[in-house]
Amino acid sequence: MSTQPPSNIHEYFGSLNDPRDGQNVQHKLIDIVTIAICGILCGADNWVDIEMFGEAKAEWLSSFLELKHGIPSHDTFGRVFRALNAEDFQRCFADWTAAICELSAGSIVSVDGKQLHGSQDGSLGRDGIYMVSLWASENELVLGQDKVADHSNEITAIPRLLQLLDIRGSIVTIDGIGCQTNIVDTIVQAGADYVIALKANQRTLLKDVQLAFESTEPEFAPAYYQTIGKGHGRIEIRQCWVTAANDLLSFIADFKTWSGLQSLVKIVSERRVADKIQTDTRYFISSLPPDPQHLLHVVRAHWSIENALHWVLDIAFRQDDNRVRKDNAPQNLAILQHLALNLLKQDKSLKVGLKAKRLRAGWDEPYLLRVLCST
């Protein structure tokens, strides 16, 4: 069977700086990266799995890789990805993803963090690392990710990630931790809009926005929209109020400047299951015009990052079970998993879940090549 090498791996990752030196380097960096990408696509979850994949597919891999010294050991994979510069690896990932996905005007881009629980090291008193991801909800693709620095939080990582990628014309959605003026400034300066949740970390702002919706004055009356959904034995009612009254926006701006602020948003979600009723009320600030139907859609789209990314990483890639924890290895392994997720999401030839697609890629070399060469 003729094999077409996945040249796009070399195109996007061939410029990586090799962290190794000396004369004992036996395996080319691009070969190690290629085997790792293929292994993760085919169901490997750690360095041992990747070595076993390489050994099983050595004949196929050698048709387009040099492999002068055979398949690297799992220790070699571990050492290389521990030392590989994660920021450089992330930039290569972002370039590949940009070739797959071009954001259109109005695309919803969600930002959220996830802890890699398996990277915890109790003996050394280290918490599991946090990764902040940028997720294109319509395309169902990870656009980029960044590790939260030790003894820090997502507030510092979010601006770095937003500056790394081209988000012009998109709508950025962030949970309450991202409600910071410098993050809002970064979004607006990049030519994007925002919808950001309010929580207790901005207590004064939250209180002011809550009061804005308690006014009974006609000139402050908000626009309103409602949806009712039924299914799976439950009824879900979502109500959205939006106000753009100049006096209210000016009052909030007097306390702290929020670049581009156009709308204050209140959403009440009610879920009815049997005799139980659950109600949740949330508030947001936004640079979008005061259209309650559109803003309700944007807020709902934000939560796809939980269902279509974080949940999938835990179920299909067993991310929380992974014990990789040293140096840059956890971050680089997360990038490999995000890359595999993106490539498998792009394949529309199989109407099955990602776990099944990973199995098919491991069994079927032509399918694996089709996934690899999707750009």
Q: What is the DSSP string of 18-78?
A: P---SS---S-HHHHHHHHHHHHHTT--SHHHHHHHHHHTHHHHTTTS--TT-SPPHHHHH
Per-residue confidence at 150, pLDDT binned at 50, 70, 90? low
User: Is residue 260 located within the same domain as residue 350?
Assistant: no
**Cα–Cα distance, 295 to 101 (Å, whole number):** 24
Task: Look at 97 and 266; give whichever has higher pLDDT.
Answer: 266
Decide if pLDDT at 142 tops 80.
Answer: yes
Per-residue confidence at 268, pLDDT binned at 50, 70, 90? very high
Number of domains in the chain: 2
Arithmetic mean of pLDDT, 65-80: 94
User: Is residue 142 located within the same domain as residue 242?
Assistant: yes
pLDDT computed for residue 248 by the predictor: 83
User: Is residue 302 located within the same domain as residue 341?
Assistant: no
Arithmetic mean of pLDDT, 266-289: 93
pLDDT computed for residue 306 by the predictor: 80
Return mean pLDDT, the chain: 87
Q: Which of 129, 133, 131, 134 is nearest to 151 (CA)?
A: 129
Arithmetic mean of pLDDT, 117-136: 69
Arithmetic mean of pLDDT, 203-217: 88
User: Is residue 55 located within the same domain as residue 99?
Assistant: no
Answer yes or no: are the C-beta atoms of 212 and 248 closer than 8 Å. yes
pLDDT computed for residue 165 by the predictor: 84
pLDDT digits (tens, 9 = 90+) for 162-178: 988 888 999 999 998 88
User: Is residue 27 located within the same domain as residue 116?
Assistant: no
**Range in 194-198, 241-245, 321-325, 333-337 with the lowest mean pLDDT:** 321-325
Per-residue confidence at 230, pLDDT binned at 50, 70, 90? confident
The answer to whether residue 38 is domain-embedded is yes
The winner for highest mean pLDDT among 64-68, 163-167, 275-279, 285-289 is 285-289
Report the first-to-last Cα separation within the chain, whole angstroms: 23
Per-residue confidence at 119, pLDDT binned at 50, 70, 90? low
pLDDT computed for residue 4 by the predictor: 55
The answer to whether residue 1 is domain-embedded is no
The answer to whether residue 316 is domain-embedded is no
User: Is residue 80 located within the same domain as residue 106?
Assistant: no
The answer to whether residue 24 is domain-embedded is yes
Per-residue confidence at 69, pLDDT binned at 50, 70, 90? very high
The answer to whether residue 344 is domain-embedded is yes
The answer to whether residue 320 is domain-embedded is no
The answer to whether residue 67 is domain-embedded is yes
pLDDT digits (tens, 9 = 90+) for 288-309: 999 999 999 999 998 888 877 8
**Cα–Cα distance, 349 to 367 (Å, whole number):** 9
User: How many residues make up the chain in this entry?
Assistant: 375
User: Is residue 13 located within the same domain as residue 115?
Assistant: no
Task: Look at 324 and 178; give whichever has higher pLDDT.
Answer: 178
Domain boundary, last residue among 310, 344, 359: 310
User: Is residue 254 located within the same domain as residue 199?
Assistant: yes
Per-residue confidence at 1, pLDDT binned at 50, 70, 90? very low
User: Is residue 240 located within the same domain as residue 139?
Assistant: yes
**Cα–Cα distance, 76 to 56 (Å, whole number):** 17
pLDDT computed for residue 254 by the predictor: 67
Decide if pLDDT at 74 tops 50.
Answer: yes
Q: Which of 108, 92, 99 is nearest to 167 (CA)?
A: 108
Domain boundary, last residue among 282, 310, 338: 310
User: Is residue 43 located within the same domain as residue 169?
Assistant: no
User: Is residue 221 located within the same domain as residue 337?
Assistant: no
Residues 272, 273, 278: CA angle, nearest 5 degrees: 45
Strand stretches in the chain, DSSP E: 108-115, 130-136, 141-147, 171-174, 193-197, 223-231, 234-243, 263-273, 276-286
- Tell me the whole-structure pTM to 2 decimals: 0.85
The answer to whether residue 101 is domain-embedded is yes
Domain residue limits at 117 = 94-310
User: Is residue 78 located within the same domain as residue 105?
Assistant: no
pLDDT computed for residue 330 by the predictor: 86
